[in-house]
């Protein structure tokens, strides 16, 4: 149904890739990362502007087939949004009293030692309909689940995607990829001063502020050809240049640069059988594999990845963590061994 120039689905998303049977059906509830890939084929999450366009349309609180919600638009161009509530850690809440629907927007800013994340959503009850931009703790985004109403992918969207795919083919991995003004390497660091063979290769792992690489196989050996493990952690306040394992012309990214990458958006995907997350918007995208990690000389192969920043967090250091749920900034003991993805100097 077209409202203010945007074609909206007439039903909520049920399970990922499917719509509900009826407009009044509540459908599923999705956390932020799950919502990224939940719309059926040919549909996508709405932008902030598209959510805001609904608030300027005629709308009213009503009941359809015993379900409360808001009817948006004017006849014959109307769609019903059920008041499907939200799912929190302790279960579903506000069903029949409130509806909250995801928008495809998320940004994270660094304020002091704190990451402040802002997300967009459409919210309504029996009094009002608003499109909100609001702060949310990063941990909250993994446990709060909202409804999802999709918009149609247009011919213009498809044409733009094709242009981006063509442009992507012209980008070489040696030059890196520019995302939000920062040039990122397309592969992890392998041996000190070298990149891994391809984007899905794990490369080697590094303790914070050290340029000795550790293998991603057991028994773990290091780039010096032995298994001598450093139980102590660096006391420097930043990753020193002489300890940087990145190739010439590249360096370990700062916390702010990793946050910028996080703000570019990411989706769960696989490359040649290796799971990971794809960051950015085509054609400016990089793949970060779930390479695992270790905090002792024994490799932990697991469905997650951890990528160091150059900055400390008190007695720890900041890193970008990613798994099948999403991606987030966190901190850990500097003696842990994580992956390194470089940025251009």
Burial pattern 10-43, b for ≥16 Cβ within 10 A else e, equals ebbbbeeeebbeebbebbbbbbbbbbbebbeeeb
pLDDT at 37: 86
CA atoms within 13 A on the CB side of 86: 20
DSSP element (H, E) containing 163:
helix 155-168
DSSP letter at 39 equals S
Q: Which one, of 200, 343, 205, lies nearest residue 277 by Cα?
A: 200
3-state DSSP assignment of residue 50: helix
Q: How far is CA 313 from CA 200, 205, 236, in A?
A: 29, 20, 12
pLDDT in tens, the chain (345 residues): 999 999 999 999 999 999 999 999 999 999 988 898 899 999 999 999 999 999 999 999 999 999 999 999 999 999 999 999 999 888 999 999 999 999 987 776 655 555 667 888 999 999 999 998 776 666 677 789 999 999 999 888 888 777 766 655 554 455 799 999 899 999 999 999 999 999 999 999 999 999 999 988 777 788 988 877 777 889 999 999 999 999 999 999 999 999 999 989 899 988 888 999 999 988 889 999 999 887 655 556 567 899 999 999 999 999 999 988 889 999 999 998 999 999 999
pLDDT at 227: 76
How far apart are the C-alpha atoms of 69 and 204, rounded to whole Å? 53
Tokens encoding 326 = 């999403």
pLDDT at 52: 94
3-state DSSP assignment of residue 19: strand
Bridge partners for 77 per DSSP:
74
pLDDT at 172: 45
Count CB-CB contacts under 10 A for residue 177: 20
How far apart are the C-alpha atoms of 317 and 311, rounded to whole Å? 6
Burial level of 83, CB count in 10 A (0-12/13-18/19+)?
buried
pLDDT at 27: 97
Tokens encoding 70 = 């808001």
pLDDT at 112: 58
Q: What is the CA radius of gyration of the chain?
A: 23
- Find out whether 280 and 265 touch, Cβ atoms under 8 Å: yes
pTM for the predicted model, two decimal places? 0.60
Tokens encoding 321 = 């963590």
Tokens encoding 107 = 């940004």
Q: How far is CA 48 from CA 11, 40, 214, 306, 345, in A?
A: 19, 20, 44, 30, 34
Residue 53 backbone phi and psi in degrees, to 5: -65, -30
Residue 254 backbone phi and psi in degrees, to 5: -80, 170
Helices (H), the chain: 32-35, 48-55, 138-143, 155-168, 255-263
pLDDT at 216: 82
């Amino acid at each position: 149904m077209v409202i203010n120039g945007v074609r909206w689905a007439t039903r909520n998303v049920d399970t990922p890739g499917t719509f509900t049977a009826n407009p009044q059906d509540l459908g599923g509830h999705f956390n932020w990362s799950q919502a990224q890939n939940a719309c059926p084929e040919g549909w996508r999450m709405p932008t902030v502007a598209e959510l805001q366009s609904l608030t300027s349309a005629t709308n009213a609180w009503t009941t359809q087939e015993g379900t409360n919600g808001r009817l948006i638009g004017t006849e014959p161009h109307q769609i019903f949004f059920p008041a499907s509530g939200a799912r929190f850690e302790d279960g579903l809440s506000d069903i029949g009293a409130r509806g909250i629907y995801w928008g495809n927007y998320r940004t994270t800013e660094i304020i002091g030692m704190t990451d402040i994340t802002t997300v967009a959503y459409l919210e309504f009850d029996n009094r009002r309909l608003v499109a909100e931009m609001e702060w949310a703790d990063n941990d909250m985004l993994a446990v709060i689940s909202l409804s999802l109403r999709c918009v149609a992918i247009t011919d213009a969207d498809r044409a733009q995607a094709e242009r981006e795919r063509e442009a992507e083919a012209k980008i070489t991995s040696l030059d890196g990829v520019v995302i939000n003004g920062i040039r990122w390497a397309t592969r992890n660091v392998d041996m000190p001063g070298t990149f891994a063979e391809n984007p899905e290769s794990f490369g080697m792992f590094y303790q914070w502020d050290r340029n000795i690489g550790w293998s991603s196989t057991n028994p773990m050996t290091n780039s010096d050809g032995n298994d001598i493990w450093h139980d102590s952690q660096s006391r420097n306040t930043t990753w020193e240049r002489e300890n940087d394992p990145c190739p010439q012309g590249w360096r370990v990214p700062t916390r702010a640069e990793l946050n910028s990458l996080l703000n570019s958006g990411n989706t769960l995907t696989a490359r040649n059988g290796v799971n990971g997350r794809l960051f950015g918007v085509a054609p400016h995208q990089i793949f970060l594999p779930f390479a695992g990690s270790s905090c002792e000389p024994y490799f932990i192969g697991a469905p997650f990845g951890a990528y160091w920043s150059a900055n400390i967090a008190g007695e720890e250091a900041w890193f970008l963590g990613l798994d099948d749920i999403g991606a987030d900034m966190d901190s850990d003991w500097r003696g842990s061994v994580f992956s390194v993805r470089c940025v251009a100097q």
